[in-house]
Structure 1
């Protein structure tokens, strides 16, 4: 988590309208304190890059650690918005955040893992399966993520692509970022039986089962991984809500589990699927939807006021969807749930 300025503390943090309260130690960011005490607040990257943890400060004073302007602009900060992942209280704080849950049932834990299987499913996507300790079950919500802890202390985050009932191991979809220290290793040197240290679960991206609203499942690239986990969970639990998956890629091969999705369609009558390709070539013989995947949603659903949206993938897709669905399609801000896949480059 991003280093932040020190403060005396401890301070009390109260979250409205739920009334949940917890304390932060000196120099501890609000989100770090919430995770430590099992208070589930919305967040994604934990590094001030994605903006998923943005909320309104009603009372008190905070100091922000380093963060990206695209995640929190100076104007937004002046208007009382903060990023809980890098906001350090300087006094007692009252926040407004409507997506607060009790996550104490799923404590964050560190554990060893063993690479049990690897499958290259496209030119730049590897499915990696990890075996976890048999006597140490990782409990998580479908849609959450884990972090690899590398030897130098650096971390890399990947969403679980399998729902918890499809454990006890986890499935990850890793996209190759040429020049990236970790993904270069995955694609050139990683072998089965390799031992990796992981920590999790993290993230506030999971299905809100207290709603019966129809859902838009929006994925770009490997943003499909947590969406796949949600679909597995829905099928396992017998959840009958209507859901439409919009999965976008540059070329048809980027939809690397298209066949898996189509198999689910035959088994889940309330699930629909709209694949969208942005840069098809003549040789692809693509006859489906083209363009930007988030815009395809608005073409089909100009009024999203009665929907929930679950969006995962590249920050530009998630950010564009969040802004445009609210401004142009009447989606309530509190019904947009996202996991923005920030890379190391996005954090600097």
Structure 2
């Protein structure tokens, strides 16, 4: 069998799923330093992979020159780079077109097993016992194993904090406070902590004068909501829309804690080794989407005794009537206590 020297890694979206590939590739790079990796993804995600040795980036312009039949052009661009294997971490129509085309060019292919049957069983438990499925990180790692490159995710070494620019240093301030990021939004309302309860959490943290809190989000509607959430508090700063993605990553890498929903910002913090506290609504961490290397105790779950059909879906897009209320079973006092525990372990 020909030796593999250059692997194309495909993961086009979404942000959290792309971010989950980062620690896997970091371990791969340190385990196999002589093997070159080219990551194929959307241009916006390129900063996620900066600083990992032997990794290059191929931009997928899916709304421009790589749209529709342009996907074959993209496959040829990858082939011209000298790749001899593909690790498809996405397993969707676009990536299948690329892998099927490259397979005819004698490129070895390995594709992620998303575990659809196990996940379907998980959301069909109807109050019965559920067990932890493979994590997405494990599923990604197995793809490289299929290509003959087994990796051990326990060997992951988190990178150093990114150097702060004068602009970011000014945001942090000179007071000796713990730095917390809060990302209150998610793709679906069923995965979001009610903003009224979130305001209670922030109010209690702000009152202590021990924290500097940064609010993360995006989109016009979210920006307006974050402005309202920021306004009453002295120690809270909304950074949404004020920083580039690179600046956000730098800020996140310097946090003492990220507090997020089942959403992308938790994954961004985890790739830097930042402790992440996540809240879960109608989804469940057993589906395998918890942030990388975070202990189970960092995941606060909605009450499954009161809402036994949890998880109602893998992504939070499906739930029965009344289940939009599940997050209210997580008390603000519980969240605040956990934040204090994770940031001041001696208290």
Q: Same fold (TM over 0.5)?
A: no
Q: Which has the higher helix share?
A: 2
TM-score calculated relative to the size of structure 1: 0.27
TM-score calculated relative to the size of structure 2: 0.28
Q: Which has the higher strand share?
A: 1
